[in-house]
Structure 1
């Protein structure tokens, strides 16, 4: 008989699942000669006219310092370009080049199918419940973060 779940066992399983998911996703992305953060930028910029650094960082969850390096490496590969903002001369937007857009068009659906295999044994109700639990955990994290932040 299985032992009842406890906070430490759930935390361990969450971390193990996160690591396994990243490794699985990376196995597909590495075949494209990209890292997960690089592919995250490609799929985030796909079907958009581009976006400012700040918005790109928020949508990809890549920190500003890391994002700069990721963008530089994608520029070196000819997949993205920096474009001066038309409204603010101090800021830049990032957009896919033609090669970057071609890569997005070729690989995004394929990657979704690859990731979708993980959920093949889940019913629609299972997926909905999992999403609900993950959202609830995310909200608890955000709420607790706000409560525990020290005043500045």
Structure 2
């Protein structure tokens, strides 16, 4: 491909693919998610299911709306994930006795046991990313700030 200059450039920004931060984020996200796949398949999980379980492993019982807030997922996306985790025996859903409108998600013993089997995942992904600790922390900081800024 040949580079076309002067077209679509405004204030130092261009329409060249390599200049797009959004594409770098997209490519990195796809690569990371792809790298998770074999690690999570051994656990019987998809990446989004793993994220739900991370929230539950931290908090044990959580209202669906709080899981959605933590993962920035809407109810329509989250409900099928939770249902599949329930079918697999990792979680159970119950109505909150104090507020019947609230559905709480809790780990089952099988879901709690899976946490131990998943302990190898973060270090394996850290090794795959091969970033020094300082760069890893800085990347998380920048991405979190980017999320806040763009979500405004």
Q: TM-score, normalised by structure 1?
A: 0.79
**Large movers: runs of 4+ above 3 Å:** 5-8
Q: Distance in 2 between matches of 1:90 and 1:134?
A: 34
Question: How many pairs align?
Answer: 138
> Which residue is equivalent to 2:86?
75
For the pair 1:55 / 2:55, whether they are aligned, the reply is no
> Which residue is equivalent to 2:141?
132
Deviation at 1:6, TM superposition (A): 5.3
- Match 1:112 to one of 114, 117, 122: 122
* C-alpha spacing 1:126/1:105, structure 2 compared with 1 (3 Å): same
Q: Deviations over 1:58-94 (max 9, x none)?
A: 1123321121111111111111001221321222200
RMSD, matched Cα? 2.2
State the SS of the aligned residue for 2:45.
coil
* C-alpha spacing 1:49/1:11, structure 2 compared with 1 (3 Å): closer
Unmatched segments (≥5 aa) in structure 2: 4-11
> Which residue is equivalent to 1:149?
none
The correspondence of residues 2-151 of structure 1 with structure 2, limited to 5 A, is: 8=17, 9=19, 10-107=21-118, 109-120=119-130, 122-143=131-152
Q: Distance in 2 between matches of 1:132 and 1:113?
A: 19
User: Which structure: greater helix fraction?
Assistant: 1
Unmatched segments (≥5 aa) in structure 1: 144-152
Q: Deviations over 1:95-128 (max 9, x none)?
A: 1101011012221x211111111343x3333223
**C-alpha contact (below 8 Å) 2:85/2:91 kept by paired residues:** yes
Q: Distance in 2 between matches of 1:57 and 1:48?
A: 14
* C-alpha spacing 1:132/1:75, structure 2 compared with 1 (3 Å): closer
